[in-house]
Amino acid sequence: MSGTESTPYTSLPFHKKLKAELQAIADAMCLSLPKPTVVLLRKEIQTHMHAHPELADDPQFLPLFAHRTAPNVAGKNSGDKANEEVSQVPITSGAITGANRTLIQRGVKTDPPGQFARLSLNEESGPALSFTPQDDGDESSDYQFLSDSGTGNESPSPEIEKKSLANKQPGAKQVRVPLPGISIHKAFYVLSVIISLYPLLRLHLNQRRQPHQPSQTAWTKSIVGILRGAFKLEDNYPPIWASGLDSGDEYSVRISDDLAGLFMMLGFNPYNLAEPSPDSLFTAPRLVLCTLRLSYIFCPPGDLNIVPTLRRRVEPKIVWVLDERLHWVEADLVIAHCASCRADYFPDRITYKDNAGARRQQLELSPAFLRVSKHGVWVQRQIALLQENTIHRFHAGWSNFAEWVNDSTHAKRKFTYRQSQRLFIEHFSRRLLLFHSRHNFSCEAHPSTHRLADAVRAVIGANGGVLDKAMTHGCKGCTHLKRYRSDLIAEGVVLGGDQDIAGMEDNPTVAFILPPQQEAPLPGQPRGYVRMAVMDGKVIPHQKCALDECDGPLVNYKDGRFCEAHLNLRGVCGIIPCGLAVRHTGALTCATPAHIQWERQYTARFSRLTFPGLRRVIRRQQGLADDATRGPTLHVSLPPLGDIPGDRIVHTFQAKKIYCLQTVQLACGYPIGWGKCYRSESTPQVLAILNRIWEAHPNSKPSFIAYDDACDLLRHIITQNPDDPWITSTKFIVDAWHYIGHRATDIFCRLWCNPAPKNGSQPDLILGEQDANGVNHQTRAFNTETAQRI
């Protein structure tokens, strides 16, 4: 190509540039065409490349095969091996190189082995799932839920064992007052229903004032219907009638006829229609706040193996409570006490002394009321759920929620910003601790809001976390019975090419060696199961220390720049590596005039970057950009400092931000763990997050992990350690959406990371479905896009 004269096409239109480039490539290959066009040139060049595969060894033609730079002569890395694999695409002899060769030489199979660890089903009636070598996974009724493999994306709820009200205390008998008619608990319920009928009775009496009205109006029919519903037998409750005969209809009619007299007995005159309806017929009961525990939890049983009972500590204290109706009401706070260990039992926490004599507390994870102030202000738990939903749905802050509460109550007592913040921390800390199974969490007694948040983060993970429940979770959306190639053949599935993917258009066939697969067990032998996890990076950055190499959190997130370990740098010039002291307290640079001037220009430049200004800059840059520019970009030009360009100057004027949050969840949406990528979403950081999540659960690794860059992640694992357990335990596949951009050029990705290959190499990822014409089609068995929606 160097021997030909270069064509000056830089100022030509795009289609003429393409033709000039193709003509230059054809001249370098000594190809001559009488009437060259873009189509003919491309066809002749591709034909010549297929006929002469040795051109891939020529550095000047390597980009035509790999679309990447030529490999270096130094040691190979994962990128070099990828170049080797891509260069084999046009070769039909089946030769393999790089990471692909490593996997095939080690006999790694394309599909994962079946797993047999015990799982807990996320279904109300489903028993715990266990695939033991003594069980047959095909015939056991416990496993039937896995045969209906779906691709749903319903977020699961924590597994909560549901018990009927009648069976809360096994062996206890239902106590019923021996009345000749209705049971006492139903009588109180019917009384509350009668009180709610007061407005309907007044409407009935008002209609009767007009002439020619029936004695029984539609209002009375509604009253009778509501009363009949009140007398219905409810599940898990004792019988209503002592006689065993259902007299609900009779009693409903009799109560309806005497309803006006009943209200007269209660002191209300429904016939006086001029008076307005009362707001409430009865005064609301006074709230009493106390612990729900009956005995100590720290002291051992005493004489006769009896657990010591609780005592009242002090006289009841009057506190203010914001109830579920957004009303400020007075309540009595009663604190229980242990005379032995000196523990105090509050409605939402237990305080005690540890072995060192320091006062600590253990949170009650499901209290009815939460304390939000040391001065006796409590909030009903339902308000905390309301606050959580407003923050999630409306993106409201603590201050906005406090103002909304005050606007809704119209009371002299105000709900403050600090109380709103405390409510969220108290409530959401319990949510996180409960979901992470940290039931025995403890911290210092009566901590501040920030200390409580720090203590909870330290337990569940500050820079990454793991949900232990996810290691044993199983449901239809993420767990299927292990399948084999023979299952696809038995279902009549028409297998496709090695590079095809279910649900997508086929590619031109390229022959390569197919690695071995798992062998199907003998009839009657257990199959096990497979699970899929999905991983993705979320651009949810937060600030960190201004030093690039430091990942520590800021001490002051409002206007701070450094973590606690580098706070001393506040007194050092912000331009690195100056090292001189700042000219005065609060300054960002030293007294050097050049540094002061550069800092002023930096501040002035960024202070003018308003939203309209950003749009103007982006539009201007888009107008000047060439055809290769993708999407809007923003490049802020900074003045040079001496011989150093402005964009190369390292400074600490602002706090840095992390790159993204890496989340891992099962294919059904159940979260597993998370971690932080600080400077980029690099494969070493992603692998470190995976290793940290499954460090304590090596036998619970999923069979599949779907990730947008799974092929590069797998190459990195093979390059760093060919004996890594991840290679045999888990198959890394590219999610279906991102695979569209991977499959055309990368043979390694097509062979090992195909999310649903049609050739039967991954039978766990394929389901056979029949259309209306009776034709079998292959569909994807798992949803690989749940990470995009979390």
Same domain, 740 and 755: yes
pLDDT of residue 776: 74
Domain hosting residue 25, numbered range? 1-50
Look at residue 678 and tell me if it is in a domain: yes
DSSP H stretches of helix in 289-409: 381-394, 398-409
Residue at which a domain ends, from 468, 490, 513: 468
Residue type for position 166? A
Beta bridge partners of 465: 674
pLDDT of residue 294: 84
Tokens linked to 27: 């001249």
Report the C-alpha gap between 621 and 629 in whole angstroms: 10
Report the C-alpha gap between 87 and 53 in whole angstroms: 9
Same domain, 525 and 662: yes
Tokens linked to 435: 């979901």
CB of 470 closer than 8 Å to CB of 671: yes
For strands 317-322 and 377-380, give the pairing: parallel
CB of 333 closer than 8 Å to CB of 291: no
Same domain, 318 and 426: yes
∠ Cα 13 16 18 (to 5°): 110
Look at residue 330 and tell me if it is in a domain: yes
Phi then psi for residue 393, to 5 deg, are -85, -40
pLDDT of residue 507: 47
Look at residue 501 and tell me if it is in a domain: yes
Q: What is the 3-state secondary structure (H, E, C) of 124-145?
A: CCCCCECCCCCCCCCCCHHHHH
Tokens linked to 619: 């539009």
SS3 261: helix
For the four alpha carbons of 137, 143, 145 and 151, in that order, the dihedral sign comes to negative
Q: What would the pLDDT profile of 570-621 be if each residue is shown by its tens digit?
A: 999 999 888 899 999 989 999 999 999 888 888 877 665 555 555 565 566 5
Q: Select from 498, 512, 511 the least CA-distant residue to 743.
A: 498
pLDDT of residue 536: 92
Domain count, the chain: 5
∠ Cα 407 412 416 (to 5°): 65
Beta-carbon count within 10 A of 770 CB: 11
CB of 545 closer than 8 Å to CB of 566: yes
Look at residue 60 and tell me if it is in a domain: no
Same domain, 324 and 448: yes
Look at residue 56 and tell me if it is in a domain: no
For strands 328-333 and 317-322, give the pairing: antiparallel
Same domain, 319 and 431: yes
Report the C-alpha gap between 629 and 643 in whole angstroms: 29
Same domain, 744 and 611: no
Same domain, 576 and 699: no
Look at residue 61 and tell me if it is in a domain: no
Region of residue 410 (phi > 0: left; psi between -120 and 50: alpha; otherwise: beta): left
Same domain, 456 and 484: no
Tokens linked to 675: 């971690």
Same domain, 142 and 4: no
CA dihedral 500, 502, 505, 509 (to 10 degrees): 10
Same domain, 662 and 777: yes
Same domain, 120 and 243: no
Same domain, 192 and 139: no
Look at residue 219 and tell me if it is in a domain: yes
DSSP H stretches of helix in 587-704: 593-607, 611-624, 683-693
- Profile the chain (790 residues) by mean pLDDT over runs of 10 residues: 40 56 79 82 81 70 49 43 44 58 82 81 45 38 41 40 39 38 78 88 91 91 91 62 72 89 86 75 83 82 70 89 94 90 92 91 95 93 95 91 93 94 96 91 94 93 90 91 84 62 49 73 86 91 91 90 92 90 92 90 68 57 50 58 80 91 93 93 94 93 93 93 93 85 74 84 84 78 79
- Location of structure tokens 């040079």: 640
Look at residue 369 and tell me if it is in a domain: yes
Report yes or no on whether pTM surpasses 0.75. Answer: no
CB of 343 closer than 8 Å to CB of 371: no
Q: Please provide the DSSP assignment of 436-491 as one string.
A: TT-TT-EEESS--HHHHHHHHHHHH-SSEEE-GGGGGEE-TTTEEE---HHHHHHT
